[in-house]
Amino acid sequence: MPCKLVVLVSGNGSNLQAIIDQIDAGQLDARIVGVISDKPDAYGIERADRHEIPTTILVANNDESRESYDMRLQTAIDSYQPDWIIMAGFMRILSDALVEQYLGRLINIHPSLLPKFKGLNTHQRALQAGEAQHGASVHFVTPKLDDGPVIMQGRIAVHPHESADELKQRVHRIEHQIYPNVVQLLCHQRVSYHDGQVLFDDKLAGQPLTPTVQVAEN
């Protein structure tokens, strides 16, 4: 049976679409059983509806604590009984309790070569730092923001004189390649989380995996 995914989105949902496309192409042995968004107008919800994927919209109430919201989020996630929870542009910071609940089953993608440039505005910061390479990292989520062990990274060369938006668009294409790649490894039980580290084929990975697909440079 394909492994079951719940995908969390807040906006455009392009990584959600990349995963859907790989499933439809027979390249990813998974089934998205639900998409959850904290934004009612997230385009990711429309993408899910187009593919007849069940959705849940979970808007935070005024003055609602993070812990209270995350209790409702946990209920929504559990209602789908997923094997993996995939964060795809979900912009809320999760409470420690929720992260611990799904530790080892909760995955995120971050637009930098972690541990560099945690947080926001990664592309502009990479340009300002004069980085020769930039990219994206898929990692297990732990309570500390953008600090979980990295499963895979896709790298590209930074072009001279390119803008932050141009770099962002190229990194998006990297994300769309490596995220489904990692999900396939997870579904085939080749990657797992153990004591704060990544196991690949039951051995410590030591460093982030490289994509099994060719990463486009342009």
User: Which residues carry out catalysis?
Assistant: 110
Largest interatomic CA distance in the chain: 48
For 83-135, give the DSSP string.
SEEEESS--SPPPHHHHHHTTTTEEEEESSSTTSS-SS-HHHHHHHTT-SEEE
Tokens for 1, please give them.
């049976």
With b for 16 or more beta-carbon neighbours within 10 A and e for fewer, the 142-179 pattern comes to beeebebbbbbbbbbebeeeeeeeebeebbebbbbbbb
Is residue 115 reached through a cis peptide bond, with omega within 30 degrees of 0 on the bond before it?
Answer: yes
Task: Measure the CA–CA gap between 180 and 176, rounded to whole angstroms.
Answer: 7
60 contacts 38 by C-beta, under 8 angstroms: yes
